[in-house]
């Protein structure tokens, strides 16, 4: 099994371009089964989650090709309406096919997504919302069987702004009969990006990116071409990596507004941030300062996906930072691995107490999930001594050529 070897001692400086967003590519690729015409999705990151999604499209019977960042899909003859356990277990976010399969096929059979290192990953809100649109479900033997002769528009108020549930409702609603209103909708940039793609396909959607999304169902959708938005979480990962080494980095090809909440935290830590239309430059202070409090929240709040990377970065800052994880039940498992690298971090329930001033030392550690793996790489860059990171398939799931990008900035990092 491949692992990442990081040899520290290098300040990371330079310019690097962000890839397309993993969390936008997945629902947009699922949307391509809503039409029989060809769709082309560009700026897809070359990551295993996209590969898995292409495999699911092929398994369902679509023609699907992924080359040099473009996924081309033609879903004119879908033969299957199930996603096998083997494909689901590799990627729990395959749940994003549920709404589109019910809309296109009238039925869906998928294995219940298991938990992961962020805690249980329930889909109760997805199911209750789709039931309001006329779908019926049976859960049996770890599988979810869904049926919907004809989906109907509905008024759906989400108990909290679930990203995946918002996306599944949108994918089910665009060809449902009548109007769907989603209130308390997720506002992440990936929601607006999905709406962009669906609108290009002929859907009637307004309000995506805000609290209330209105969708009027149409009879059919058409082929479209769409470029995925940049990956805001990758951009933050690259910045945190440069900042912990005292460097200066410009990340290009991004939407600065998408990382505003994180930029504010970085400035509190003493980072000098400058932005242009499609880039952000971050220049580290001599010594990072602690940030009194970071609280994760749905967009436009501080993104939970950036919590592990900023916690790792602030483990060497001067002072104490409290990091409160309010989106996932347990997203601090990676702290055990950082602790083995000498990070002075203690977790009480859903808050990490980052004491700061840690003297990090290289160690053999294990990535427990995508962002945890990124946090370990960041800590390794500022340690004394080499770090070896196992189970890096987690990192490959969501980061395109992250080692190559970090090497461009001067890091001594290699896959082995």
Look at strands 143-147 and 136-140 and give their pairing.
antiparallel
Q: How far apart are CA 16 and CA 137, in angstroms?
A: 46
> Binding pattern to ligand EPZ, positions 73-112, x when CB under 6 A?
--------------------x-------------------
Q: State residue 10 phi and psi, 5-degree precision.
A: -120, 135
Count of positions on this chain that bind ligand EPZ (CB under 6 A): 23
Nearer to ligand EPZ, 356 or 369 (CB): 369
Q: Does 307 bind ligand EPZ (CB under 6 A)?
A: no
Q: Does 245 bind ligand EPZ (CB under 6 A)?
A: no
Residue nearest to ligand EPZ (CB): 164
Sole binder of ligand EPZ in the list 228, 244, 327, 375 (CB under 6 A): 327
Question: Residue 196, exposed/middle/buried by CB under 10 A (0-12, 13-18, 19+)?
Answer: buried
Neighbours of 410 (CB within 10 A): 17
Sole binder of ligand EPZ in the list 54, 57, 62, 126 (CB under 6 A): 126
**Using an 8 Å Cβ cutoff, are 312 and 343 in contact?**
yes
Query: Is 96 strand, coil or helix?
Result: helix
Q: Catalytic: 116? A: yes
Of 44, 77, 116, 306, which is the active-site residue? 116
Of 69-77, 120-128, 239-247, 350-358, which part binds ligand EPZ (CB under 6 A)? 120-128
Nearer to ligand EPZ, 93 or 366 (CB): 93
Q: Does 8 bind ligand EPZ (CB under 6 A)?
A: no
Q: Least CB distance from residue 308 to ligand EPZ, whole Å?
A: 9
3-state helix, strand, coil in the chain (%, to 5): 35, 25, 35
Rounded to the nearest 5 degrees, what angle is found at the Cα of 141, between the Cα atoms of 136 and 147? 20
**Using an 8 Å Cβ cutoff, are 218 and 31 in contact?**
no
Q: Does 165 bind ligand EPZ (CB under 6 A)?
A: yes
| Catalytic center residues | 116
Q: Which residues bind ligand EPZ (CB under 6 A)?
A: 22-23, 26, 93, 121-126, 162-165, 188, 304-305, 327-329, 370-371, 398
């Amino acid at each position: 099994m491949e692992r990442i070897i990081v040899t520290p001692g290098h300040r990371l400086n330079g310019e690097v371009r962000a890839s397309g967003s993993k969390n936008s590519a997945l629902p947009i690729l699922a949307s391509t089964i809503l039409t029989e015409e060809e769709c082309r999705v560009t700026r897809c990151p070359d990551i295993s989650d996209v590969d898995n999604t292409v495999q699911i499209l092929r398994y369902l019977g679509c023609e699907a090709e992924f080359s040099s960042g473009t996924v081309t899909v033609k879903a004119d003859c879908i033969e299957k309406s199930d996603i096998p356990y083997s494909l689901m277990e590799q990627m729990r976010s395959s749940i994003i096919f549920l709404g589109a399969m019910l809309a296109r096929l009238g039925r869906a059979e998928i294995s219940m997504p298991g938990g992961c290192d962020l805690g249980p990953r329930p889909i109760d809100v997805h199911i209750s919302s789709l039931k309001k649109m006329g779908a019926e479900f049976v859960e049996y033997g770890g599988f979810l069987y869904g049926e919907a002769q004809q989906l109907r528009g509905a008024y759906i108020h989400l108990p909290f702004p679930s990203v995946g549930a918002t996306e599944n409702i949108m994918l089910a609603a665009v060809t449902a009969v009548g109007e769907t209103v989603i209130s308390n909708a997720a506002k992440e940039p990936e929601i607006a990006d999905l709406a962009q793609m669906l609108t290009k396909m002929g859907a009637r959607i307004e309000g995506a990116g805000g609290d209330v999304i209105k969708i009027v169902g149409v009879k059919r959708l058409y082929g479209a071409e769409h470029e995925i938005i940049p990956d805001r979480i990758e951009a933050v990962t690259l910045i945190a990596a440069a900042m912990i080494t005292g460097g200066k980095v410009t990340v290009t090809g991004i939407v600065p507004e998408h990382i505003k909440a994180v930029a504010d935290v970085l400035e509190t830590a003493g980072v000098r941030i400058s932005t242009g239309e499609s880039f952000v430059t971050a220049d580290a202070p001599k010594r990072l300062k602690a940030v009194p409090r970071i609280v994760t929240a749905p967009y436009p709040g501080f993104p939970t996906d950036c919590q592990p990377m900023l916690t790792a970065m602030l483990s060497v800052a001067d002072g104490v930072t409290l990091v409160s994880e309010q989106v996932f039940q347990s997203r601090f498992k990676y702290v055990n691995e950082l602790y083995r690298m000498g990070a002075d971090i203690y977790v009480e329930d859903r808050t990490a107490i980052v004491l700061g001033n840690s003297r990090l030392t290289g160690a053999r550690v294990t990535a427990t999930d995508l962002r945890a793996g990124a946090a370990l790489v960041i800590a390794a860059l500022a340690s004394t001594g080499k770090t070896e990171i196992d189970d890096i398939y987690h990192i490959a799931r969501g980061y395109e050529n992250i080692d190559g990008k970090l090497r461009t900035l001067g890091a001594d990092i290699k896959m082995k």
